[in-house]
Amino acid sequence: MSADLRELLELASDDVPDLDLAPEAWKEAQRRNRMVVRRTVLGVGGVAAAGALGFVVRERSSAPAPAPSGPVRATVAADGQLPTAQVEGVTVYLAPDPPDEAFLPRYPDAARLKIPRHLGPADPAIRAELGPGGGVAEPLRAAFLVVAEGGGHHLVLFAPDAPFQVEVPGLRVDQAAGNGVNAVLGPRSISDDRHRLVLPQPGRVVVLDVRDGTVDTIEVPDPTLLMAGWARDRTTVVARGRFDGWLIDSRTHAVRPATGAVNPDWADLAQGDREPAQLRTFSGSGELTGGRALLGAAVVPDTASVSNTEGWVAGGVFLPGAYQSAIGRSQGLVAVHSDLPPTPRVLAATPGPLVPAGAYRALTWAPRDVVLFESRSERAGFQGLVRRVLAWDVNEGVLYQVADVDRAATTPGEFSGTYAL
């Protein structure tokens, strides 16, 4: 029966055309071979690109990744978008070289915030004097210290809607109360109502109301006061000396020592003796309410912090070994959200002989989680500092230019280089 069946099948297939499957098989083999080659090339190319850019840092169990041959250079996009790296779970935004800051896009909210393109006190000849009966009703935008005749400094106040900048010649300020970038004018020197200032001086704080030019001096039993600022309740002045903190009622002038850490803002970044950096939170009157250690690669806070009502806090930091070995950078800004797991976002400053220590100093927060900060660098040939105000959008990873800051001078009446926004 099998022989009969084979003969019947052969007779039935006589009229069926033969199919030549060899060309189709050859085409399929070529297509598969191209797919294998493409995948191999893309895989090798991706690894090569990651190694060349140095932007992805992975932990390896076998051996540590070798240190880069030099600092990672950053090319910022035309819209200010920053390149990034990952260092032990921390997103790091790579800031450009200082000369390239001049080519960053203009901060779009600068005009609405009334921050001029050039920031600094006006020429002494066109300043008005603040005194009894000669106040400034418009909100303040900035305060500057200028060199006073015979030593010390005077305040010059900038209110964008006022016809002149106003100098306070009767108030002489001792700049020795500050130290370096943590100066006598700080992030909370100007009150939230933008009408009052507070300044720390040895053994006292000085409160100025620019609406009528009145000056109140409140004695504090601490000759080492280094910081004073307005708490978020708008009435308490928070002051700190070398060892102690103080809470001062600006209405009654009552002074009481703090039992723990104090800060005029909602949150700050602090470094313990043998502990990792902490995000600390504070009440509206400046008293400590809690603290949590920062996650990820360690950072070391080294300048004053600023926070906003949305929960963000930012400050200048030193970046220790993990960052230096991964991206060749050692300082910058850090931003942390107090309502989320405290994992930092870092804006790392480029290194180099023209970039001094403490290159970044947080100034204040702008709307939509944008922190304004000062960037300092040396001119070529070490011909003095270049000072700029930049804006970092911590959510979008975008960097903007805001203002150029006037050069500091030592001539009486000229800008000392210390200011607050």
Better-predicted residue by pLDDT, 37 or 206: 206
**pLDDT bucket at 133, cuts 50 / 70 / 90:** low
3-state secondary structure of 76: coil
For tokens 């001049």, name the residue: 102
Better-predicted residue by pLDDT, 47 or 351: 351
Q: Which of 395, 304, 388, 397 is nearest to 348 (CA)?
A: 397
Q: Which of the 8 DSSP states describes residue 61?
A: S
Q: Which of 68, 98, 86 is nearest to 345 (CA)?
A: 86
pLDDT at residue 31, rounded to an integer: 47
CB neighbourhood size of 97 (10 A):
18
Over the stretch 101-125, which tens digit does the pLDDT of each residue have? 999 999 999 999 999 999 999 888 8
Residue 192 has pLDDT above 60, yes or no: yes
Residue 56 has pLDDT above 70, yes or no: no
End-to-end Cα spacing for the chain: 103
Over the stretch 341-388, which tens digit does the pLDDT of each residue have? 999 999 999 998 889 998 999 999 999 999 999 999 988 766 778 999
Residue 126 has pLDDT above 50, yes or no: yes
Cβ–Cβ under 8 Å, residues 257 and 239: no
91: its two tokens:
């997103």
Sequence-distant (≥ 6) Cβ neighbours of residue 377 within 8 angstroms: 98, 354, 355, 356, 359, 385, 386
For tokens 């000759």, name the residue: 223
Better-predicted residue by pLDDT, 34 or 366: 366
Cβ–Cβ under 8 Å, residues 400 and 391: yes
- Helices (H), ranges, 288-395: 321-327
* Alpha carbons 343 and 332: distance in angstroms, whole number: 16
Cβ–Cβ under 8 Å, residues 186 and 177: no
407: its two tokens:
């050069």
pLDDT at residue 117, rounded to an integer: 95
Over the stretch 230-254, which tens digit does the pLDDT of each residue have? 999 999 999 999 999 999 999 999 9
* Alpha carbons 8 and 4: distance in angstroms, whole number: 6
Among 64-78, 141-155, 262-276, the minimum mean pLDDT is found in 64-78
* Alpha carbons 43 and 39: distance in angstroms, whole number: 6
* Alpha carbons 387 and 417: distance in angstroms, whole number: 9
Name all domains of the chain by residue range, CATH numbers in brackets.
90-420 (2.120.10.30)
For tokens 């790091």, name the residue: 92
Q: Give the percent of the chain with pLDDT over 90.
A: 65
Q: Which of the 8 DSSP states describes residue 390?
A: E
Residue 46 has pLDDT above 60, yes or no: no
For tokens 């964008």, name the residue: 160
* Alpha carbons 96 and 75: distance in angstroms, whole number: 7
**pLDDT bucket at 132, cuts 50 / 70 / 90:** low
Q: Which of the 8 DSSP states describes residue 215?
A: E
Over the stretch 252-271, which tens digit does the pLDDT of each residue have? 999 999 999 999 999 999 98
Helix (H) or strand (E) holding 228: strand 227-230
3-state secondary structure 119-138: ECCCCHHHCEECECCECCCC
Over the stretch 309-330, which tens digit does the pLDDT of each residue have? 999 999 999 999 999 999 999 9
Return mean pLDDT, the chain. Answer: 84
**pLDDT bucket at 63, cuts 50 / 70 / 90:** very low
pTM of the model: 0.81
pLDDT at residue 383, rounded to an integer: 72
418: its two tokens:
């210390």
For tokens 């399929």, name the residue: 28
